[in-house]
Amino acid sequence: MSWSFFPPSLPVVGVGAYLIGSVPFGLLLSKMGGAGDIRKIGSGNIGATNVLRTGRRGLAAATLFLDGFKGALAVLLARVLCETGTQSAIGVAAVAVVVGHCFPVWLGFRGGKGVATGLGALLALCWPVGLACCLIWLAVAKLSHISSAGALAAFIAAPFLMPPLSMQPLHSPLPIATLLLTLLIVVRHAGNIARLISGRESRINIDPPPQDKVKI
């Protein structure tokens, strides 16, 4: 299936996936769990890493799971519901759901960095690629104790893994969608990259953060 095949359902898939991605599970779980507004502590991010800075491992784990789940859900729904142009539809869904997480309309387009949602989308696009990226993320984060380093390593590897593992050429939907996901994740981590280069990037810490914000 060529990426140029553009069925009328693709805009609907994109909007639907965006709305799924825009559900701010980190914010909702933190408030319901008594940890307060996650946007007012740590980095101000709504993702699992910042939830972990509240010291609530359970909430962080739930956020990680649900953010990944919504990424996979959007792609799987596109795969099931779109009878034509399936490869194009799931590629659009994968990118749109991460865009929704990063720029949720409900929060003034100020969301997370898309790592867990992106990994969930990759697992649904091509599970060997998603699994490999999850392992890279965990390995690099464990060795470096820096969450952003693991995330960047995983998504930089993804475009190289997708063509051979999905058995699709570079110009087909899944590799193109994977490349777009990587570019989005890298752009969202621009500040982290600058701090990694300067050696100022903070390490993973589960202790409650101080009152003033710490950029991570």
Whether pLDDT at 208 is above 70: no
Whether pLDDT at 8 is above 70: no
Across the range 117-138, mean pLDDT stands at 97
Q: Could you report the per-residue pLDDT of 69-112, keeping only the tens digit for each?
A: 999 999 999 988 876 557 889 999 999 999 999 999 988 898 89
The predicted structure's pLDDT at residue 180: 97
Q: Could you report the per-residue pLDDT of 136-190, keeping only the tens digit for each?
A: 999 999 999 998 999 999 999 999 999 999 999 888 999 999 999 999 999 999 9
Contact criterion met (CB below 8 Å) for 12 and 77: no
pLDDT interval class at 201 (50, 70, 90): confident
Q: How far is CA 177 from the centre of its chain?
A: 13
Select from 152, 157, 210, 204 the least CA-distant residue to 48: 204
Higher pLDDT, 213 or 85: 85
The structure tokens listed for 22 are 């825009």
The predicted structure's pLDDT at residue 159: 97
Across the range 113-142, mean pLDDT stands at 96
Task: Determine phi and psi for 181, rounding to 5 degrees.
Answer: -60, -45
> How far apart are alpha carbons 61 and 64 in whole angstroms?
5
Q: Could you report the per-residue pLDDT of 28-39, keeping only the tens digit for each?
A: 988 888 777 778
Across the range 9-29, mean pLDDT stands at 91
The structure tokens listed for 202 are 């903070």
DSSP the chain: --TT---TTHHHHHHHHHHHHT--HHHHHHHHTT---GGGSTT---SHHHHHTTT-HHHHHHHHHHHHHHHHHHHHHHHHH-SSSHHHHHHHHHHHHHHHHHS-GGGTT-----HHHHHHHHHHH-HHHHHHHHHHHHHHHHHH--HHHHHHHHHHHHHHHHHHHHT--TTSHHHHHHHHHHHHHHHHTHHHHHHHHHT-PPPP--SPPPSS----
pTM of the full predicted structure? 0.86
Whether pLDDT at 6 is above 70: no
CA distances from 170 to 87, 94, 165 (A): 13, 17, 12
